[in-house]
């Protein structure tokens, strides 16, 4: 009887261990997976309002967008009312010639339709050391920028359209803006899309963008990075051959500690905390990396700048982050600023992840523009 109990207990332990490993693999896969295709559904325009399906995103306050199936963009404002499973919002700007009635559209946080809405734009292709090019937008007036450039880096499962939200502030501050794409983002053809390496591979494409800006005459560069773009920016600041040209960082809801982020995701899913550590072990092992389709293993636990493990880049840094961010814990930004006297924190109360620019647009703009003007003491520019 004791022997059979021991065998049964052993089988139970093995089953539990297998289930735990499976959960860890699932979390790891979800963490790095390419973005799912946008969900297009009917929207109904009537005068200065539009009705869309009610979702957690479309019910958020602020200014957002609808990307129509023909590629055009409808800018939408605050909620007017909810009607059952639909929400009615104000229309702030619609494409020329778009009549009332039904359109097919996808909800997006991108509240700027095109880079030309920000300023004079050149569509450029940045040569990459890994081969091929990365498409980018170059916005602003090089003559008045006087060698000062910002490079805007989007986050995980996003695109340069999302990072465009920070360009009005940098252009208005008198800096050139280079809004870039990189390996694995949604601009890649489906066959070429690879799982994210949480910045450890992607930063090299951004480094190529830094080299491009230097070749174009950039003397001072500020990386303006969103979410996982924060990881990319920190890696570039550590390892770029042109890091001496980096004058500062602007980080929006930045991923500065992946352990916190994964633990937060696991807790939000009501999974055992041990799954977080196990999922990071999967990412960091060669066997796990191969199973996940990764080009290389990712040591997510090492991707932290909030403790003593890795020093910061030692350059002026502005962090813009909501206290109630559900994806990237605000505590990581607080911990970073506490350790780095060259960093300052501009806190928001925006709901959702990376919605600071959508919900407090003017404060977001003025905070970044003012910081850039002060960076080199040019308050009067």
pLDDT tens string 99-128? 999 999 999 999 999 999 999 999 999 999
- Name every residue whose Cβ is closer than 8 Å to that of residue 236 and which is 6 or more positions away in sequence: 203, 206, 207, 210, 223, 243, 246
Q: According to CATH, where is 3.40.50.1820 located in the chain?
A: 115-257+303-375
Asked if the model's pLDDT at residue 8 lies above 90, the reply is no
| CATH topology assigned to domain 41-108 | Thrombin, subunit H (2.40.10)
Lowest mean pLDDT among 52-66, 163-177, 197-211, 367-381: 367-381
pLDDT tens string 34-44? 767 788 999 99
For 115-257+303-375, CATH number? Answer: 3.40.50.1820
Q: According to CATH, where is 2.40.10 located in the chain?
A: 41-108
pLDDT tens string 124-142? 999 999 888 999 999 999 9
Rounded Cα–Cα distance for residues 275 and 281 (Å): 10
What pTM was estimated for this model as a whole?
0.92
């Amino acid at each position: 009887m004791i022997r059979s109990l021991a065998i049964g207990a052993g089988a139970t332990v093995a089953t539990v261990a297998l289930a735990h490993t499976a959960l860890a693999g699932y979390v790891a896969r979800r963490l790095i997976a390419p973005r799912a295709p946008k969900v297009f559904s009917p929207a109904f325009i009537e005068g200065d309002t539009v009705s869309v399906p009610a979702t957690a995103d479309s019910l958020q306050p602020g200014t957002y967008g609808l990307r129509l199936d023909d590629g055009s963009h409808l800018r939408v404002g605050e909620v007017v009312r909810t009607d059952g499973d639909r929400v009615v919002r104000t229309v702030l700007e619609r494409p020329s010639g778009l009549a009332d009635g039904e359109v097919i559209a996808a909800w997006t946080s991108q509240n700027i339709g095109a880079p030309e809405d920000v300023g004079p734009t050149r569509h450029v292709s940045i040569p990459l050391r890994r081969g091929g090019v990365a498409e980018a937008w170059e916005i602003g007036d090089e003559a008045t920028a006087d060698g000062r450039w910002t490079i805007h880096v989007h986050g995980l499962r996003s695109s340069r359209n999302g990072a465009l939200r920070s360009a009005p502030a940098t252009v208005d501050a008198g800096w050139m803006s280079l809004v870039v794409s990189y390996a694995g983002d949604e601009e890649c053809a489906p066959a070429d899309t690879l799982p994210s390496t949480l910045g450890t591979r992607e930063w090299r494409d951004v480094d190529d963008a830094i080299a491009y800006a230097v070749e174009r005459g950039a003397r001072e560069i500020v990386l303006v990075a969103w979410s996982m773009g924060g990881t990319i920016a920190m890696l570039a600041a550590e390892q770029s051959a042109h890091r001496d040209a980096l004058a500062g960082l602007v980080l929006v809801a930045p991923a500065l500690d992946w352990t916190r982020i994964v633990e937060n995701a696991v807790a939000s899913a009501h999974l055992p905390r041990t799954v977080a550590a196990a999922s990071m072990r999967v990412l960091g092992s060669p066997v796990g990396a191969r199973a996940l389709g990764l080009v290389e293993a990712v040591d997510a636990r090492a991707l932290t700048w909030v403790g003593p493990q890795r020093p910061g880049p030692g350059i002026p840094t502005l962090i813009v982050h909501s206290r109630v961010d559900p994806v990237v814990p605000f505590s990581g930004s607080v911990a970073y600023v506490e350790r780095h006297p060259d960093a300052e924190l501009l806190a928001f109360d925006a709901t959702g992840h990376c919605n600071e620019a959508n919900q407090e647009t003017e404060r977001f703009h003025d905070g970044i523009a003012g910081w850039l003007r002060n960076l080199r003491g040019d308050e009067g520019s």
